[in-house]
Structure 1
Amino acid sequence: MNILQIHDRTGVREVMLNRPSRRNALTLELLSALSDALSTPDTVRALVLTGAPPAFSAGADLSELTGTAADVEFDDAVERTVRCIRSSPAPVVAAIDGPCIGAALELALACDVTVVGSNAFFEFPPLKLGILYNPAAIQRMHRRLPRATLARLLLAGDRLNASEAVASGVATHFASELSALELAHDIAERMAHFDHTALNSTRRLLRELDAEERDLSAYTETRTTLLNSPLRREKLARRRGSNGTA
């Protein structure tokens, strides 16, 4: 079974994470395949990113994590994929139903438009695993989301349902009449007919307005210490034993 399914329609490419038995948990292989799929020919004018039911993605596949600082390799892979989404030659519309957890939420936030179905929910598990989440990712989220939303996700460990996700800025559209995938395709097809130069110039301007940077070296050092801690390994082993994903 292909871990990524790609379907090209006229002007629109659908990219589906396809590990349903693992709730589409993210592996290095899957992230690499996704990055490659985002390099589209000129005939593709918009992309839809989704996950095979019953999930968008449950986040990192914990079976690939070591419980040490070597796990920054996974962070690096997520970073590369986020960059590919943000620099995609075509706008990317996420269609989300079911869980969207941890690194999967990073991918969703990198998309230009995020559509949620009634069963969608969003959650960040780093404190449950005893770690500081990737500082570069937190910086991006801080630019993208209201401070109160970050407090709910990162500090309180709240789970946001579909309506809360739209209200808090995590998602842009709630699919009340169509499925998330159907509405995402409707939006992608509309975007595919916009003037390509005008659309991508607007996308680029929005990215540049988001681009404030800060020195993250001290936080990166703290994160490395936490990644190597015995408590983190214990929490990771316990969580891996329960469901194998973040």
Structure 2
Amino acid sequence: MSTRSPEAAQLSGAVDSRLPAPPSFRGGAAADARLLSSYAEGCAEVLAALPPRADRSAAEHGDADRVERAARHARHRFLTLHAGHLYDELTEGRKHRIRLDELAFAAADAYPGLVPTRAQISADRKLPQAEKSDGEVDQGILFAHLLDGRETGEHLLRSMLAPTPRALDLLPEFRRSGRVDLGRAVVRRDGFVAEVTICNQDVLNAEDDAVVEALETAVDLALLDDAVSVGVLRGSVLSHPRYSGRRAFGAGINLTHLYTGQISFVDFMLRRELGYIRKLIHGLRHDPADDLLHPRGGKPWVGAIDTFAIGGATQVALVLDRVVAGSDAYFSLPALAEGIIPGAANLRLGRVVGRRMAERLIFFGEKVAATGPEARELCDEVVAPDAVDGAVAASAERLADPAVPANRRMLHLAEESDDLFRTYMSRYALEQSARMHSPDVVAKLERTWMNRRPGGASETARPGGAGKD
């Protein structure tokens, strides 16, 4: 039995009557694109007649949801038919490697109504998460289809393993001086080791769009420099009063930025996984044609876990070759605290710690002390806090052995094939884009924001806080 009021039912009926007829795609990409554009425009006009998102009644939210679902169903059907054609058109037959943001905005220009334009995304970035449009969900649909196709997905994954233009510009300076300060990260070469340090001290080294950009550039520089054999990843000394003078590996996603709408689906959620984290595993791809005879395969990485690795920081620890933790450190992955998906942790965590432990971490926010028996699968060595540097240096020395790269390539091939990762990320694109704009996520962010200390940026700063994902 329906629980809607007669007024809501009347309004819903009015909205339904204003919706254009769903397009009947007939298989020609150009003609179907015009049909989609016309239909999306009609749906947008119906939505524009409703009050702004923050002022809608429950019934009006329901009306908007139905209109958006209708438009998304049309986009899904269009991409089911034409995702391969679209990708080949935008990459000129896969001759060019296009990064995620460029691809999304190129698709918006070439196929109006399919995904938000650059101007629409820029306008959204000025709004808190609760007031944003759901345009990023349409980006999720696009990338879900592109990653789902084996040929388009593999090409996109390879494209994201290319070094960033910023890294290529900075490479001569890094080779000359051995140090580059990227603001939110610093990369420094010491002998054969490149140390990448996350520098977001006032928010406990939490990650946001700027941190992801800086980390990918820093990782690229370490991988591009032939003088570097091993990378080290760690967090900087914090400025937060509770942890002043102490290092921390990281506190996960920056909840302040997520609440205020500054965490992007493409430049954070997708770029993080397909960019610097995957480069930590596989290294860079310069010329795919040479992969068989001259495999790159990346370089080994050591993680220095000081104080805590929360949420996204634990996600990163899962892909490192050696993890050294201070005896006062802990790991946690409290995904349900924010309601979003913890990146590719759902793909990797179970095989590392087992399914039951993975669920305790993700669903129940269980903390794992570095000295506890459960931590054996999350870190390789636990030492006194003042001995972390020495243990990291010893691990780097061991991993500099010339036989390591070939062996780690084979280990990664056995553990996580490109097909497995591509399939996971296809579904992740759909699920995460929807999660980011779900009412329960917004409600959790509101509660977190209201309970936080003024000027703070992490729940970890409060005793008993939920942490960051």
Distance 1:84 1:165 in 2: 30
Instruction: Give deviations 1:147-193, integer Å, cap 9, x for gaps.
Output: 2320221122101111237644111111248522321122102322x
Residue pair 1:144, 1:210 contacting (<8 A) in 2 also: no
* Residue matched to 2:345: 137
Matched, 1:72 2:265: yes
Matched, 1:47 2:209: no
* Residue matched to 1:97: 306
Q: What displacement does 1:229 show?
A: 2.1
Secondary structure at the counterpart of residue 93 of structure 1: strand
* Residue matched to 2:359: 151
Tell me whether 215-224 or 28-37 shows the greater mean CA deviation. Answer: 215-224
Instruction: Give deviations 1:220-244, integer Å, cap 9, x for gaps.
Output: 5454443322221121132245243
Secondary structure at the counterpart of residue 38 of structure 1: helix
* Residue matched to 2:393: 185
Report the CA distance shift for 1:75/1:90 in structure 2 as closer, same or farther (over 3 A): same
Q: Which has the higher contact order (CA 8 A, sep 6+)?
A: 1
Matched, 1:86 2:281: yes
Instruction: Give deviations 1:15-56, integer Å, cap 9, x for gaps.
Output: 111122211111212112211222231110111111113311
Q: How does 1:204-223 map to 2 (within 5 A)?
A: 204-211=409-416, 213=420, 215-216=423-424, 221-223=430-432
Matched, 1:244 2:457: yes
Q: Which of 22, 29, 33 is residue 210 of structure 2 equivalent to?
A: 29
Q: Which of 423, 437, 443 is residue 228 of structure 1 equivalent to?
A: 437
Report the CA distance shift for 1:126/1:3 in structure 2 as closer, same or farther (over 3 A): same
CA RMSD of aligned residues (A): 2.5
Q: How does 1:102-117 map to 2 (within 5 A)?
A: 102-117=311-326
Distance 1:61 1:177 in 2: 25
| Residue type at the aligned position of 1:44 | V
Q: Which of 184, 194, 200 is residue 3 of structure 1 equivalent to?
A: 184
Secondary structure at the counterpart of residue 234 of structure 2: strand
Matched, 1:61 2:269: no
Secondary structure at the counterpart of residue 233 of structure 2: strand
Matched, 1:19 2:193: no
Report the CA distance shift for 1:67/1:219 in structure 2 as closer, same or farther (over 3 A): farther
Distance 2:227 2:323 in 1: 22
Q: What displacement does 1:60 show?
A: 0.8
Report the CA distance shift for 1:130/1:177 in structure 2 as closer, same or farther (over 3 A): closer
Residue pair 1:67, 1:233 contacting (<8 A) in 2 also: no
Report the CA distance shift for 1:189/1:64 in structure 2 as closer, same or farther (over 3 A): same
Amino-acid identity (%): 28
Q: What displacement does 1:3 show?
A: 2.1
Residue pair 1:121, 1:160 contacting (<8 A) in 2 also: yes
Secondary structure at the counterpart of residue 64 of structure 1: helix
* Residue matched to 1:164: 372
Report the CA distance shift for 1:67/1:228 in structure 2 as closer, same or farther (over 3 A): farther
Report the CA distance shift for 1:108/1:219 in structure 2 as closer, same or farther (over 3 A): closer
* Residue matched to 2:408: 203
| Residue type at the aligned position of 1:244 | A
Residue pair 2:338, 2:445 contacting (<8 A) in 1 also: yes
Point out the structure with the larger strand share.
1
Report the CA distance shift for 1:7/1:224 in structure 2 as closer, same or farther (over 3 A): closer
Distance 1:116 1:133 in 2: 21
Secondary structure at the counterpart of residue 190 of structure 1: helix
Point out the structure with the larger helix share.
2
Report the CA distance shift for 1:238/1:174 in structure 2 as closer, same or farther (over 3 A): same
| Residue type at the aligned position of 2:279 | C
Report the CA distance shift for 1:34/1:226 in structure 2 as closer, same or farther (over 3 A): closer
Secondary structure at the counterpart of residue 323 of structure 2: strand
Distance 1:178 1:66 in 2: 36
| Residue type at the aligned position of 1:146 | G
Distance 2:200 2:319 in 1: 21
Q: Which runs of 5+ in 1 are unaligned?
A: none
